[in-house]
Chains A and B, each alone.
Chain A
């Protein structure tokens, strides 16, 4: 039992619930930023490879995940003055219940896999899975395009959690490439968001249902 890690991870789980509950975009973004920061410091706390390179990389991650990405999305909102609701398909209370449910489910599922470095923490794998599924949940349950992008970011956080902490042999250059990819992805999504806003002067994806069959 590794107190600091588990406290941090439980914070992450909490952030999931917050994100499900929050009805306003700025709040959601703040939650995501917070989540990004925590997720990126986990490796340090678990504390394998405390090399300079590792630390540098962690800082880079922290800046990108915790600051750059949320910031650029926040700016995107500012720029195009989008209405601030996340326009839920599934209501907030239902979402919260679903969040609790999927956390439990994640714990159950994680028991099927015996994690190699479960020495690090028992909560690690469940949290990762929970983040992943929660991200997809946001993607499915929010009509607002920006909320969907945020869901995608949450997924990425989950994967990052799995990656950096489980696999020992992470080459930083490679991970950095991944990070850049994610960043570029979010950038492009932000651009598309602005275009959507200009074209439909709304980011409600209900408008994006013309192409079918």
Chain B
């Protein structure tokens, strides 16, 4: 039994064991977390070794006497496996203290079962080597994650979220199924490997259909509608896994299909690139408008998926315009961003989880000043925010750096590539700026200043099992940001299988880039150290006073007067109003003795609006028109039979 299978078995055992032990709450949690954790660790080491010493490992089982379930671990799969197992491992550890409601013991056990299933199915998705296997794993993944989303089914919102997610993932799966049908219809084979033996038109159709299907899983605008509903609904460690790695399986699918079909027409690369820009910018804009911290993070997943797609799109353009360096830079950047995003996004969701568990609210504008009592959470969250804003010296910067370099390569090419690259670069810049604005808002409002409500404060941050994973992830953000060499190497090892046809990629130039990043980071730290030293010198035996914040002459400041996240984002949202219509509910103050008034604002997601107006309502209307055919009159029913016969007789 090779170690991959071993890890699968361990993980599933963990899930099942939880189901049997649910009466002893702590024991159940310990066993489940233990098994799942060990399983993930085994899988992680296995994937890492396979990624470092390239080469593909395949296994195939007989299925239904006629078909086969075949699995294959090549560079690409291994790369995704790394992030899957890494995040799942930490999320499992986190869950030990996060799921602490012994009233819900059975439910917790069930959630562990589906959690294990989710991890296993994700791993199987990225290792599946033929269509049947892929669909099987894919659907199991959707189903298990659905159950995790409706963990708190008591609230109607969560039920709606679960329903949305269920429908979206199934419809997406149907698109993929149709694409696979065309695949099989043209090749007569179920293996991904045989993909390149069909006409280009079919290839393009498949790529586009799968792009829609996988996009609806990955949360590409406008197929992201389910995402901001589902991720807040799930428990935080699940949100971490879903947002961190599950949606990446969609990215994997896109890359895998691209690799197996080997269709290098610019068109698809352009589609991916444009989709990436749109989801990137709109994702972060909507994120700015959110009041619920987990919804905000969910929208940031849309944004980062956009960045990843920009990277991959640049890579694809590089391939189709015969520019290897651009291609490699794009793909490397995109893939590395997959890993990076899985790290800092799960870190942020875990942080948000701690906040929610301790304060009991998800509304940003009700929080404040948490940093004083929640040092570790605050610092790690700060690190995550810096990383997701793509600032050096953290990991987000590295991947964006590579994507930028690729984009600039593209800017030197001819027309279409040139225009698209310019757009890509500029939108990346805008995304970066907006992300910075958004996370200064979150950090500033949630963790800094004073508590906005006296009743909403965090006493402490107990629960080492929750803090440890966050520390590890924060550490990773830092390490990748300063010493990216190793991780770029991993990403580069993942590329060759993606059908670029360059064979082995020369490492040296890219290693040089990483060396530069390391250099710059170190320089920055040296100078920072200098400044710190300077500060120490300056403050040597000086009087450090302490007083309230200066109210600029205003004498009665209250915490309620602090700038809220809503007002913080208002001016930027104003700039994007056409794309993000803002709905405000604010009865004007009137009369001599005005009654208490309120202010609610909500940023509408145009995709959600139009989905309802353009898709749902017409379908319902159409089918409502048809309902009369079954109106209970037997004479008419017999008429149908006669009708059917008459119609058939015409065909004879």
Are A and B direct contacts in the complex by CB distance below 8 Å?
A: yes
User: B649 to chain A: which residues have CB within 8 Å?
Assistant: 109
A109 to B645, CA, bound (A): 13
Cβ-defined contact, B630 with A213, below 8 A = yes
* Chain B positions 623 through 640: 1 when the CB is less than 8 Å from some CB of chain A, otherwise 0: 000010011111110110
A208 within 8 A of partner (CB): yes
User: B634 to chain A: which residues have CB within 8 Å?
Assistant: 148, 205, 208
- The size class of the interface chain A forms with chain B is 10 to 19
How many CB-defined contacts (below 8 Å) exist between A and B?
31
Cβ-defined contact, B635 with A140, below 8 A = yes
User: B642 to chain A: which residues have CB within 8 Å?
Assistant: 133, 136, 140
User: A211 to chain B: which residues have CB within 8 Å?
Assistant: 632
A211 to B633, CA, bound (A): 9
A167 within 8 A of partner (CB): no
A109 to B641, CA, bound (A): 18
Cβ-defined contact, B632 with A209, below 8 A = yes
A143 to B633, CA, bound (A): 10
Closest B residue by C-beta to A109? B649
User: A212 to chain B: which residues have CB within 8 Å?
Assistant: 630-632
User: A209 to chain B: which residues have CB within 8 Å?
Assistant: 631-633
Cβ-defined contact, A139 with B635, below 8 A = yes
A109 to B650, CA, bound (A): 11
User: B632 to chain A: which residues have CB within 8 Å?
Assistant: 208-212
* Chain B positions 607 through 636: 1 when the CB is less than 8 Å from some CB of chain A, otherwise 0: 000000000000000000001001111111
A89 within 8 A of partner (CB): yes
Chain B binding site: helix, strand, loop or mixed by DSSP? helix
Which of the residues B630, B631, B635 comes within 8 Å of A89, measured between beta carbons?
B635
Cβ-defined contact, B631 with A213, below 8 A = yes
Closest A residue by C-beta to B631? A212
**Shortest Cβ distance from A119 into chain B, in angstroms?**
24
* Chain B positions 442 through 481: 1 when the CB is less than 8 Å from some CB of chain A, otherwise 0: 0000000000000000000000000000000000000000
Interface centre among A208, A210, A212 (most CB of B within 10 A): A212
Closest A residue by C-beta to B641? A136
A68 to B601, CA, bound (A): 80
A141 within 8 A of partner (CB): yes
Closest B residue by C-beta to A89? B635
**Shortest Cβ distance from B645 into chain A, in angstroms?**
9
In chain A between 162 and 213, which residues have their CB closer than 8 angstroms to a CB of chain B? 205, 208-213
Cβ-defined contact, A213 with B635, below 8 A = no
A50 to B634, CA, bound (A): 42
User: A213 to chain B: which residues have CB within 8 Å?
Assistant: 627, 630-631
**Shortest Cβ distance from B125 into chain A, in angstroms?**
40
Cβ-defined contact, B639 with A140, below 8 A = yes
Assuming the contacts A136-B642, A140-B642, asked whether A205 and B635 have C-beta atoms less than 8 A apart, the reply is yes
Closest B residue by C-beta to A133? B642
**Shortest Cβ distance from B651 into chain A, in angstroms?**
13
Closest A residue by C-beta to B629? A213
A1 to B467, CA, bound (A): 102
Which of the residues A109, A136, A143, A208 comes within 8 Å of B638, measured between beta carbons?
A136
Cβ-defined contact, B638 with A140, below 8 A = yes
Cβ-defined contact, A141 with B635, below 8 A = yes
In chain B between 569 and 616, which residues have their CB closer than 8 angstroms to a CB of chain A? none
User: A140 to chain B: which residues have CB within 8 Å?
Assistant: 635-636, 638-639, 642
**Shortest Cβ distance from B635 into chain A, in angstroms?**
5
In chain B between 187 and 235, which residues have their CB closer than 8 angstroms to a CB of chain A? none
* Chain A positions 121 through 156: 1 when the CB is less than 8 Å from some CB of chain B, otherwise 0: 000000000000100100111010000100000000
A89 to B636, CA, bound (A): 12
A141 to B642, CA, bound (A): 13
**Shortest Cβ distance from A65 into chain B, in angstroms?**
22
Interface centre among B631, B634, B635, B642 (most CB of A within 10 A): B635
A141 to B649, CA, bound (A): 23
Cβ-defined contact, B638 with A139, below 8 A = yes
A103 to B245, CA, bound (A): 72
* Chain A positions 78 through 111: 1 when the CB is less than 8 Å from some CB of chain B, otherwise 0: 0000000000010000000000000000000100
Closest B residue by C-beta to A141? B635
User: A139 to chain B: which residues have CB within 8 Å?
Assistant: 635, 638
A106 to B486, CA, bound (A): 85
A28 to B282, CA, bound (A): 75
A185 to B37, CA, bound (A): 67
A208 to B633, CA, bound (A): 8
A212 to B632, CA, bound (A): 5
User: A148 to chain B: which residues have CB within 8 Å?
Assistant: 634
User: B627 to chain A: which residues have CB within 8 Å?
Assistant: 213
A140 to B640, CA, bound (A): 10
**Shortest Cβ distance from A39 into chain B, in angstroms?**
21
A209 to B630, CA, bound (A): 10
User: A109 to chain B: which residues have CB within 8 Å?
Assistant: 649
A136 to B635, CA, bound (A): 9
User: A205 to chain B: which residues have CB within 8 Å?
Assistant: 634-635
A113 to B642, CA, bound (A): 19
Interface centre among A140, A143, A205, A208 (most CB of B within 10 A): A140
**Shortest Cβ distance from B648 into chain A, in angstroms?**
13
**Shortest Cβ distance from A87 into chain B, in angstroms?**
11
Closest A residue by C-beta to B636? A140
**Shortest Cβ distance from A99 into chain B, in angstroms?**
15
A208 to B641, CA, bound (A): 19
**Shortest Cβ distance from A134 into chain B, in angstroms?**
12
**Shortest Cβ distance from B63 into chain A, in angstroms?**
41
A143 to B635, CA, bound (A): 8
User: B641 to chain A: which residues have CB within 8 Å?
Assistant: 136
A50 to B641, CA, bound (A): 37
**Shortest Cβ distance from A106 into chain B, in angstroms?**
12
Closest B residue by C-beta to A205? B634
Closest B residue by C-beta to A151? B638
**Shortest Cβ distance from A86 into chain B, in angstroms?**
13
A109 to B652, CA, bound (A): 12
User: A141 to chain B: which residues have CB within 8 Å?
Assistant: 635
User: A136 to chain B: which residues have CB within 8 Å?
Assistant: 638, 641-642
A140 to B637, CA, bound (A): 9
Closest A residue by C-beta to B634? A205
User: B636 to chain A: which residues have CB within 8 Å?
Assistant: 140
**Shortest Cβ distance from B66 into chain A, in angstroms?**
40
A31 to B126, CA, bound (A): 75
A64 to B113, CA, bound (A): 66
A208 to B632, CA, bound (A): 8
**Shortest Cβ distance from A44 into chain B, in angstroms?**
30
* Chain B positions 142 through 160: 1 when the CB is less than 8 Å from some CB of chain A, otherwise 0: 0000000000000000000
Closest B residue by C-beta to A140? B635
**Shortest Cβ distance from A143 into chain B, in angstroms?**
8
User: A133 to chain B: which residues have CB within 8 Å?
Assistant: 642
**Shortest Cβ distance from A25 into chain B, in angstroms?**
18
Which residue numbers of A lie inside 8 Å of B, CB to CB? 89, 109, 133, 136, 139-141, 143, 148, 205, 208-213
12 sampled A-B residue pairs with Cβ under 8 A: A133-B642, A140-B635, A140-B636, A140-B638, A143-B635, A205-B634, A210-B632, A211-B632, A212-B630, A212-B632, A213-B630, A213-B631
Q: A211-B632, A213-B627, A213-B631 are in contact. List 12 more A-B contacts (CB 8 A).
A: A136-B638, A136-B641, A136-B642, A140-B635, A140-B639, A140-B642, A141-B635, A143-B635, A205-B634, A209-B631, A212-B631, A213-B630
Task: Kindly list the 8 A-B residue pairs having the minimum CB-CB distance in the complex, ordered from nearest.
Answer: A212-B632, A209-B632, A140-B635, A139-B638, A212-B631, A136-B642, A213-B630, A140-B638
